[in-house]
Amino acid sequence: MLAAGDLVFIWSPVKGDCFLIRLSPGATQGSHLGQIKHGDLVGLDYGDIVYTNRGEPFFVLKPSLGEYTRRIKRQTQVIFPKDSGFIIQHLNFGPGSTVLECGTGSGGMATVFAHFVGDTGRVVSYDRREEFSKLAESNAERWGVRHRIEFKVRGLSEGFDERDADAVFLDVQNPWDFIGVAREALAPGRHLGILVPTYNQIEKTIDALNQHHFVDLQILELMARYLKTDPRRLRPEDTMTAHTGYLIFAAKASPLPAKTEPAEGLE
C-alpha cells in the first residue's frame, strides 16, 4: 500500500493530464479537473483510482524511470529517454558494473546508470560545477539510487581516478580532449559513449578516437514520434522529439601492429 513519501504517477483518462508527485499528507495536487489530496492516495495500491474534488478520476501508477528523468529538477539540458535507453544498451553494462561519467549536469544520466548497476554496482560522476553535483544528488536521492553514486566536483584535467571501468560516458563540450583519459579508465574491449550536439564536434571526436586506438565506431541520431492513441484518429502526433544530440560509441582495443615492408627481392 502507498504511504507518505512514496513517489507516484497519476494519469487522467479524460484529458491525459499527468503528474509525478511525492506523497505528503496535507498537500494537494491541482489540475484542470480539480484538486487531488495526497492523503486520499495513502493506503491505495498502484493501479487504483483516486478522484478529484470534482469527481474526476485519475489512475495511480508506479512511475517509470523515463517519466522521472523527463521531469527532474534541472539547471542544464537533460538527456531524453529516447537517447538514454540506447546509451545503456550500447555501453553494455548491468548489475555490478562500474560506470564513469563526466558532465553530471542535473544528474539524469547518473540516475539512469545507477538504476541499472544495482546495489552491487557503482557510478562515479564528475563535474566542475558544485551546484550541478548538489542538484544531481537531490535528483538521485528522490529516485532512491543516491547510495550507488559517487559525485566528484572536478574536471578531467588530471584524468579519471578509476581504472578498469565497464563503461565511460562523456557529456562535455570538448570530448576530444578527454579521449585519452577515457581510454586509461576503461577496461580492455569496453565501450565509450559520447553525446555532442554539432557536426564539428563529431569531426574532432572522430580524429581523437582514431588517434587513441578506439574501434567499432558508431555515430547516430535518434528521433521519437508518438502516435495518437484514439483508434478513430490513429495518426502521428503533431509534434515530436527530434534532434537532441548525436551519439558516438566506440570500443577500447589494442593498437594495430605497424606494417612491415617486404624485404627487397621478396615481393
Burial class (CB in 10 A: 0-12, 13-18, 19+), 242: exposed
Looking at residues 234-254, what average pLDDT do you find?
90
CA distance linking residue 111 with residue 43, whole number of Å = 28
Dihedral (CA of 184, 147, 10, 19) sign:
negative
Average pLDDT, the chain: 93
- Residues 174-227 pLDDT 10s: 999 999 999 999 999 999 999 999 999 999 999 999 999 999 999 999 998 889
CATH 3.40.50.300 is the classification of domain 66-252: no
Question: Dihedrals φ, ψ of 98, to 5°?
Answer: -110, 125
Would you list the domain boundaries of the chain?
A: 7-63, 66-252
> If DSSP codes are grouped into helix, strand and coil, which group holds residue 178?
helix
CB atoms within 10 A of CB 203: 11
- Residues 26-67 pLDDT 10s: 999 999 999 999 999 999 999 999 999 999 999 999 999 998
Q: Whole-model pTM?
A: 0.88
Give yes or no for residue 261 having a pLDDT over 70. Answer: no
Residue holding cell 565509450?
A: 192
- Residues 132-185 pLDDT 10s: 999 999 999 999 999 999 999 999 998 999 999 999 999 999 999 999 999 999
CA distance linking residue 186 with residue 167, whole number of Å = 6
- pLDDT confidence of 262, banded at 50, 70, 90? low
Burial class (CB in 10 A: 0-12, 13-18, 19+), 202: middle
Domain 7-63 CATH (choose: 3.40.190.10, 3.40.50.10420, 3.50.50.100, 3.10.330.20): 3.10.330.20
Neighbouring-strand partners of residue 194: 170, 248
